[in-house]
Amino acid sequence: MSALTPRPATPQRLPPSTSAGNPCFPTPRSEHPFDVSDTPDMPAAKLALPERACDGCILCCWLPDIDELDKPANRPCRHCRAGDGCSIYAERPQTCRDFLCLWRTDLRFGDHWDPKRSGMMLYRQGLQLTVLVDPAMPDAWRAPPYAEALVDWATTLAATGGYVIVFVGDDVFKIDPR
């Protein structure tokens, strides 16, 4: 695929919490389906869409590195229980409290982007749109409709200095814009 540029592997971390909000959560300002360049103006919890729930998805407990829990990337959190989620939910670290994937916060991501369906978890981190892919579905991001959407987003984000990065286990790819 010509839109892929391999990059050296770097563990992906969930962005730390800040009182000013977190750049991985967009505030919907545009109706363009590939404009994910929005920036936040409120905490993630206030951006959660009531019609979308984790509903058993635990990718955010597996894929990212979470420093507060001494959890490496692509390994399950010791507090994650399959089918139940977080066993320390009421006491979970602020990073976990503030995090919601883009599917939970933005209706522009259709149902096919549900992490349980797609095998991918997406979030914003500054100018970067990060895609963490479930190693059990390593090629999911290369298949339609995902591959084309990632290239479209890379093209849109490039206009403002942004980019799309895909992490699949220890492999890292930068999606090249058109």
Instruction: List, in order, residues 6 or more apart from 93 with CB less than 8 Å away.
Output: 66, 68, 69
Q: What would the two tokens of residue 121 be?
A: 């978890």
Three-class secondary structure of residue 105 per DSSP: helix
The model's pTM: 0.77
Q: Of all helices (H) and strands (E), which one includes residue 155?
A: helix 146-158
All structural domains of the chain with their residue ranges: 13-26+36-175
Per-residue model confidence as pLDDT tens digits over 68-123: 999 999 999 999 998 788 999 999 999 999 999 999 999 989 999 999 999 999 99
Report the pLDDT value the prediction gives residue 28, as an integer from 0 to 100. 35
Q: How confident is the model at residue 25 (pLDDT cuts 50, 70, 90)?
A: very low
* The pair of three-digit structure tokens given for residue 110, joined into one six-digit string: 């259709």
Place of tokens 């404009």: 35
Q: Summarize pLDDT for 43-69 with one digit per residue, the tens.
A: 555 688 999 999 889 999 999 999 999
Q: How far is CA 49 from the centre of its chain?
A: 16
